[in-house]
Amino acid sequence: MPSKKSSWIALGCEGSANKLGIGLIRHTPTSATILSNLRHTFISPPGTGFLPKDTALHHRTEFVALARRAIAEAGISPADVDCICFTQGPGMGAPLTSVAIGARTLALLWDRPLVGVNHCVGHIEMGREVTGADNPVVLYVSGGNSQVIAYAEKRYRIFGETLDIAVGNCLDRFARVLNISNDPAPGYNIEQLAKKGKQLLELPYIVKGMDCSFSGILTSAEALAAQLLERGPDGAGFTVEDLCFSLQETIFAMLVEITERAMAHVGSSQVLIVGGVGCNERLQDMIASMAQERGGSVFAMDERFCIDNGIMIAHAGLLAYRTGFRTPLDESVCTQRFRTDDVYVEWRD
Amino acid sequence: MAATVSDAAAPAHQFPLPKILTNPASTPPTLITQGAEGRLYKTTYLRPDTACALKYRPPKPWRHPALDQRLTRHRILSEARILAKCRRDGLRVPSVYALDESAGWLMLEWIEGTPVRVNINNRLGNRTEGIEDDEQLKDLMRKIGTAVGKMHSIGIIHGDLTTSNMMLKPPSAGSQSDGAAGLEGEIVIIDLGLAGGGVHDEDRAVDLYVLERAFGSTHPRAECIFDEVLEAYKKSFKQAGVALKKLEEVRMRGRKRSMLG
C-alpha cells in the first residue's frame, strides 16, 4: 500500500557497552538528517575495566537527562517521533537491559512502537549512510566485536571474525596492565604512545583463513609488559611506546590481512571501517594503503559515528520501521548474543 | 587458477613484475588474479609448452618491513614443504617447480579448470528451488568432502578452506559433456599458504568450520546441501567422526564468541 508519509523521525537508544547514546534522525525518501546525537561515556579508573553493574547504573542514572537534551537539541516534540529504537544486542547484559527499560518507558509514555536493533547492523548502516559507500566489505572492530562482513542476499554475512576476544578488548586489557588511562579511551591512548615507538617486538601473528585470534597476542604482550614493569626500559631493552607500537602493528596487520582476503573473495574493492577501533588512524592508513593497491578505496568515519552512538540505532531502526518491522513489547527482551547475520535486511536489494 | 578467474580483471602488468618474470628467456606472463596474499601469474617452466603458475607475494607496504619479511618467508617455505608432503602422501595438489623465499615467489604446476566457487555458482544460476535434489551438485559436494578428508588424514590443516581455494580440474580435454555447468573432474586443493601440520581433532574441526562458514556466505542458497560435504568427509578416514563431533563444539563456541567486553 503506497503511503503518503514522506518524513519519519526515530529516536535511538544505545547502551550495549560503556557508552550511553541517544540520537534523533529524520528520514525522507531520499535523505537522512541527524537532528541530535548525544553521548555520555562511563569511564573507569586506570587499571580497571568497566563492570556490567557499574555501567548499568551509569546508564540508568544518565538516561532521562540525556533523552531530554536530545529531544531539546533536535527541536522537536515527542509527538513528532514515529518510533523508539533501541539496541537489542549484542553487548553486555545489564547495560543493555537498563537502556531497554528506558526505551520501553518512552514507548509507553508516548504511545509509539518499539524497534529492536542489532548493534552491529546499526554500525554498518550508519557507515553506509555517512560515507556513501554502496556495497562495501565492512571491517567492524570494537571492544566487543571484530568481524569482516559483506552483504549478500538480504543478510550481512560474516566472512571472518575473531576466534576469541575482540581486538578492542585486547587493547583495553593491555592498557590495564600498563595503567594507561581509560580517558577518553584506552585505544586512543595506546595509539598516541605507539606513534613514538621505534622497535618492532616479535608477537604471535594468528590468522586462520578469514578469522583471527587475539588472546595469545594479549598474553604475550602482557608478559612483555610485566618484564618492562619489573626491569624498566633499560633492563628490558624496550619502552612502553615500543610495546604499544608492536602490538598495534601486529594486530592491525592481521585485520588488514583478513579484510583483504574477504575483498579478494567477494571481488569488492570498497572497504568501510566501523566500530570504536575504526577511529585509529594507523589502522585507517593501513587499510587505505591496501585498498588503494587493489584499485579501491576506504571509507572511514570520525569518532561521532565510529564510537557507539544513538544515531546509528535510530537510523538502522528507522530503515527497518519503514519496511513495517516492529518489536512488540513482550518481545523486546535484550540478548547478549545477537549475530549480525540473524537480521533479515528487508530494506536492501 | 584458470583464465576464467577474472574477478580482478586487472589490465596486465599494472604492477611491477617480480624480477624472475623480467628474464628475457621467460614466457610473457599473464596476470591471472590478484588474490589476498599476492598475485598469480601464468607463465612457463623450462619449456615454452609447460605452463606454470607463479605465486608472487609482493612486499606489503602497510606492514612493518620486519613483520612483512617474516611472514612472507615463512609462508612460502611452509607452503612448499606442505605441497611436497601432500604429493608424497597422495593428495592431489599442484607440484612445486621452484621457489625463492626471499624474493617472495613460488612456482607451481598449472592446474586447468576453474575454482569450485565458479562451478557451483554457474550451476546454481538464479535457481532457488530444487537445489537440495541436484544430484550432480551433491556429487561435487561429496568430492569436496573426500578431498578435505584425505588432506586431514595425512595430517595437513589447510587454514583457509573456501570454494575459491579448490580447483575442479576437468577430465582430460574433449570428454566434457556438460559445457560450462560441467561438474565432473577432479578436486585439486590449492593455496596452501596458510596450511600447517596438524592431527588434532580441534584443528580439523576449525578447518571444517572455516569451510562451512565460507560456503554459507559464498553460496547461501546451496547451504542446504553442505551436509553432503561432511557426510563424505566422515567416510574418508578413521578419525573423521571425532573431528565432526568436535565441529559441533566449535560451532557452539563460534556462536557465543566475543559478544562481551
Supply the pLDDT for residue B4. 39
- Asked if B100 and B153 sit in the same domain, the reply is no
pLDDT of residue B175: 52
Interior angle at CA B250, CA B245 and CA B256, nearest 5: 135
Which of B33, B217, B256 has the CB atom closest to A152's CB atom? B217
Is residue A139 classed as helix, strand or coil in its secondary structure?
strand
ipTM for the assembly: 0.86
What domain count does chain B have?
2
Number of H helices, E strands in chain B: 6, 10
Instruction: Say if residue B55 is in the same domain as residue B105.
Output: yes
Q: Do the Cβ atoms of A252 and A286 come closer than 8 Å?
A: yes
Q: Provide the pLDDT for residue B260.
A: 34
Computed over every residue of chain B, the mean pLDDT equals: 86
In chain A, where the domains are located = 8-125+306-342, 134-304
**Alpha-carbon span A111 to A288, nearest angstrom:** 46
What pLDDT does residue B217 have? Answer: 86
Among B74, B109, B144, give the residue marking a domain's end.
Answer: B109
Co-location of B122 and B102 in the same domain? no
- B172 domain residue, yes or no: yes
Same domain, yes or no, for B91 and B123? Answer: no
Q: Specify whether B151 is located in the same domain as B217.
A: yes
CA-wise closest residue to B191 among B87, B90, B76: B76
Summarised one tens digit per residue, pLDDT across range A192-225 is 999 999 999 999 999 877 889 999 999 999 999 9
Asked if residue B128 belongs to a domain, the reply is yes
B141 and B199 together in one domain: yes
Q: Is the pTM of this model over 0.80?
A: yes
Determine whether the interchain pair B261/A256 forms a contact, defined as Cβ–Cβ distance below 8 Å: no
Asked if B145 contacts B233 with a C-beta cutoff of 8 angstroms, the reply is yes
Domain enclosing residue B207, as ranges: 114-254
Q: What's the confidence (pLDDT) of residue B23?
A: 79
Last residue of a domain, which of B85, B109, B133?
B109
Task: Tell me the pLDDT tens digit for each residue of B168-197.
Answer: 999 876 555 554 457 889 999 999 988 999
Which residue in the set A144, A155, A285 is minimally distant from B261, CB to CB?
A144
Structural element, H or E, at residue A303: helix A303-306
Q: What is the distance, to the nearest Å, from the Cα of residue B44 to the centroid of all Cα atoms in its chain?
A: 21
B164 in the same domain as B247: yes
- Is B133 catalytic? The answer is no
Residues of chain B with Cβ-Cβ distance to A260 below 8 Å are 36
Cα first-last separation, chain A: 19
Annotated binding-site ranges of A for a divalent metal cation: 119, 123, 140, 308
Q: Is residue B90 part of a domain?
A: yes
Q: Is residue B13 domain-resident?
A: no
Among A155, A249, A339, select the one facing B255 at the smallest CB separation: A339
- Per-residue burial over A156-183, b = 16 or more CB atoms within 10 Å of its CB, e = otherwise: bbbbbbbbbbbbbbbbbbbbbbbebebe
| Mean pLDDT, residues B239-250 taken together | 94
Phi, psi of A337 (to 5 degrees): -120, 100
* Fold exhibited by the domain A8-125+306-342: Nucleotidyltransferase; domain 5 (3.30.420)
A134-304: CATH topology: Nucleotidyltransferase; domain 5 (3.30.420)
The residue from B87, B109, B131 where one domain ends is B109
pLDDT (mean) for A107-124 = 96
Chain A residues touching residue B214 (CB < 8 angstroms):
159, 209-210, 265
For residue B90, how many other CB atoms are within 10 A of its CB? 9
Rounded distance between C-alpha atoms, residue A322 and residue A326, angstroms: 10
Domain for residue B6, yes or no?
no
Same domain, B123 and B83: no
Q: In this predicted structure, what is the pLDDT of residue A2? A: 54
The pLDDT assigned to B3 comes to 37
Choose, out of A265, A277, A338, the residue to mutate when testing the contact with B (most B CBs < 10 Å): A265
pLDDT tens digits, residue range A58-99? 999 999 999 999 999 999 999 999 999 999 999 999 999 999
Does the distance separating the beta carbons of B206 and A200 come in below 8 Å?
Answer: no
HEC string for B69-123? HHHHHHHHHHHHHHHHHHHHCCCCCCCEEEEECCCCEEEEECCCCEEHHHHHHHH
Per-residue pLDDT tens over the stretch A304-328: 888 999 999 999 999 999 999 999 9
